[in-house]
Chains A and B, each alone.
Chain A
Amino acid sequence: MRHMPQIAHVDVNCFYASAERAFNPSLEGRPVIVLSNNDGCAVTRSPEAKALGIPMGEPWFKLAPRAKQWGLVALSSNYELYGDISARVMELLGRYSAWLEVYSIDEAFLGVKGAPGELLALGRDMKTAVRRNVGVPVCVGIAGTKTLAKLANKWAKNNPAFDGVCHWDSVPAADREALMRRLSVIEIWGVATRLTKRLNALGIHSIHDLSRADPVMIRDRFSVVMMRTVLELQGTPCIPMEEERIGRDQLIFSRSFATPITTAAGMRQVMSVYGQQASARLAKHGLQAKVLTAFAGTSHFNPKDTAYPSVCVPLPMPTADPVLLTKAAHALLPRICEGIRYARAGIMVTDLRPTGNQAPLALFENPHEERHVGTLLEDVTRRYGRGSIGLGHAGIRGGPDWTMKRDMLSPRYTTHWDELPLVKAA
């Protein structure tokens, strides 16, 4: 029997807090929050912290006075750690499907195929493997479309009966409908508060209402994007691969190639292009990045010789510099096996912060920012060949991180030799 392709949506539960707990077991069972850049406000809350009634985005200065009484642990954002844990999770997930889309630092879509029982088993395998190998918990939602897979994942997270894995089509239709009637449209992927109000005005309140709406009417009154959401809720896959996204604290570039790349030299060019694109996009948004993750993957049409290399690179200082970003992206190259047919690749920059925060110390200003050095290098390379021009010590290595307040930073356990986890021999 042939099975239609399905989509698995995998994401790490309370990602930042879980990454911290993986190296600090004493945080297990305690309320933990992770603060945004400059220790501003809570951006991740463990279930125990949620139970205390701490809202998302609550400023730290409001929480600090009661932290001790609550036993609340607050941590600065450790993007070096989160970037590496993310790269490990994505590489591991890539082994389960030759079709992987890294959607954000803590979530991915995978193309999967099989009978319902096989899909459930696959989801459980992925969940177990990520927990065992990397040390963080994930939930898995599997369905015919991305939107439904996201919904299935949300259900898996909130209903202990699923034990973290929900295959949408395996759930009785009556239960699915009951869930969709119960949840507001705001719970659906891609529907924000503003849209919710407009939908409500049309009498569309629940996800079930939206799934029954006329797609053409929705397109005319809203957008093609919203129409796709309706179609996806009805089971028709129509949300394509996205090539660039900017999120709360990350920016991702990824793309499938028309012709597979089989050499490190080819991948080097791709990474150079992405490095520059990321630079331009960061500059446009007035942002700098501190951590870069680069990844590549083979095609789902070629189930043999699958490979999903990825690498996390902490940058020596916050930067939007094309040269520094490109160099960092090149760290993927030693992981590229000559002859393997890579069908896609991407980079993700995280730990973003406004450029304006940088103190105007000329000594630490990056000399490449204004001079288009990256573009120049690419032009020269294109014309005269690889190796015709190279970089010396671009930028400043190990400059002081004086722009960022991270008073409660945990050790960068996996990226800094001086900060390795300590194991007690006592």
Chain B
Amino acid sequence: MGAGLAAAVVPGCAAGGGGRSGALQVWGGVPAASGPGDVVKAFREKFPQYDVNYTRFVNDDRGNLKLDTALQGGVDIDVYFTYSQGAMALRAGSGLAADLTDRVSNDPDLKVFLDTEQPRSYIDNGKVKALATAREPFFVLFNEKLRQQAGVDLPHAWTIDEFRSTAKQLTTNKTVGAYTVPDIARIALGPNYWYDGNRSNFGDPHFEQGFRVGREMIAAGTAFPWTEVLARHLDAYQQNSFLTEEFHLWSTAPFNLRYLYDAKKYPHDFKVAFAPSPTVDGKDWNGGSYSNFIMINPESPKFEAAWAFVKFWLTEGATPMLKGGKLPALGGVTDDQVITGMLGKEPDKYFDMDSFRRVVLEADPKLATDTRLTGFPEITLAVKQQRDLCWLGEKDPGAAIREVRRLADAAIARNERRP
């Protein structure tokens, strides 16, 4: 068993060639040791007739290009994951995703994937092409030690203005209140918030509000200085600054919890408490989404095996993914499994469990998954570039958002012209 399974989950073992093997070939962005290896193991125990190879690709531009060229080049891939919405639109729209509509429609366990209000699937021209395997709600983490020192109440529900004033209360001459402001426009507008008909939606005042509040908080010293964020490339390493108490309010998602219970790798002496994402003017979309979409290659000659694997992952097999902070999209896990899976062996030592239960286990936040994706990569870049200039203090929020609007409109128009 050991040797066989080891071979099954060794990254890269399925790559190359182009010839078809007997084993089901699954490509994902999560390292096998962080959950997928155990999912594969459980699947093979339940379905011994199927062999599975899991290949990891790094979920960045180059890794995704590798997957795309492999899919196009006829490399033996049956099931694969897509993590970014931009890649989703391209792959689904370019015939790289099998139509799963009938399978989903005919299965009572999976009917929820047909929901279009809070979509858990990617539906392309009425056809289900991809299914979310994970639920990634956002929440706000508090450094519990400093919260108590500052005498700040742990919010059960709060607005973005209260978030801002709390960040101010937590700011001292040594520490910054918050890393950054949550995405105000997302909270107010929900899914597809970048689009309004055939144009972009950046004329909505919540976008400028988001840029302005972020800039004002940085200027006031209650949010992390953006010069530091860029100079130290902190966006990818926010956890380090939270753990070293450089800031105390952290709007984030479950995948970052893994840094907070590993005292050997990430030593710290404080507990972490949870608060829900703040609301904006009575609007309460969460910044998180359904994500980690699983897709089947339409060229796969092993569709039945592939579908068995996809369904297993969705309905009963995703528990091992908790260790990477991936809550199963369909639930199907007990609270104890979530706690031990996501919070390590000594959850009480590192987390305020009451707030965890309230915010993560018992809450049902509105998760917004984008399904309109025209010009998505171009708009993503425009938002990032102009936000950086605005938060560095080099550009007025109004001018920055107008530039985003101009670039986004151009991107939408250009992409809609394309065949």
Do the two chains belong together in a single complex?
no
Interface residues of B, Cβ cutoff 8 Å to A: none
